[in-house]
Chains A and B, each alone.
Chain A
Amino acid sequence: TQLLEQSPQFLSIQEGENLTVYCNSSSVFSSLQWYRQEPGEGPVLLVTVVTGGEVKKLKRLTFQFGDARKDSSLHITAAQTGDTGLYLCAGQSSNYKLTFGKGTLLTVNP
């Protein structure tokens, strides 16, 4: 079983602060994705990274894929209350199976 460990599990910060969420595994993934989930909804894709060392930026969000394609991080700059939600990382293995981490529940307080 390929495990994805996410940390921290819970994060509560003030609006305007920066934060980083981590996703680590002992396994290599062909691609890694970050999703955001709102209560009562299914996960929605934020980004896919496929190349070791890749860095992608989406406005205030920066995603990095580790050189060995085993880990990833999500950094949010100047968090806003609208960033509140459950952030999930998911890795696709060579047999196409998509495995999720347990998620990081982010609360941004005004």
Chain B
Amino acid sequence: NAGVTQTPKFQVLKTGQSMTLQCAQDMNHEYMSWYRQDPGMGLRLIHYSVGAGITDQGEVPNGYNVSRSTTEDFPLRLLSAAPSQTSVYFCASSYLKIGPNTEAFFGQGTRLTVV
């Protein structure tokens, strides 16, 4: 049982380059989301999805695109990387309604540097 698999772990981009962060889960979770974590800022929601074919914006969506063609995969695309997107990115998945016996599972994170 792999849980949430996030790749790559590290990435350096030049300003203006594009790239896709991959996220896959094998727990049949409906809910998937992407966060970025900057020092002193906690985790900020970029985009989320409540099921295949459904996505919505979070707090900081600008500069990022997502799609959810399958239940398992939720890739995050940086269209034209900017230094302000230097951050640690986390993908998470969970059942739709979090209760006493459910939780959100997180990937190991991607440390992205834009130079």
Binding site for B on A (CB under 8 A): 1, 6, 9, 30-31, 33, 40-45, 48, 50, 88, 90, 92, 95-103
Contacts and interface: CB of A to CB of B under 8 A. Distances in A.
Given A43-B106, A102-B42, 10 more contacts: A6-B42, A31-B98, A33-B103, A50-B100, A90-B43, A96-B97, A98-B104, A100-B44, A100-B45, A102-B40
Contact of B99 (A42, A44, A50, A99): A50
A96 B40 contact: no
Interface of B: 31, 33, 35, 40-45, 48, 50, 56, 58-59, 90, 92, 94, 96-100, 102-104, 106-109
B98 to A, nearest CB: 5
17 contacts: A30-B97, A30-B98, A31-B99, A33-B104, A41-B108, A42-B107, A42-B108, A48-B100, A88-B42, A92-B97, A97-B58, A98-B104, A100-B43, A100-B45, A102-B40, A102-B42, A103-B42
A84 B95 CA distance: 29
A27 to B, nearest CB: 14
Nearest to A29: B98
A43 to B, nearest CB: 6
Contacts of A45: 103-104
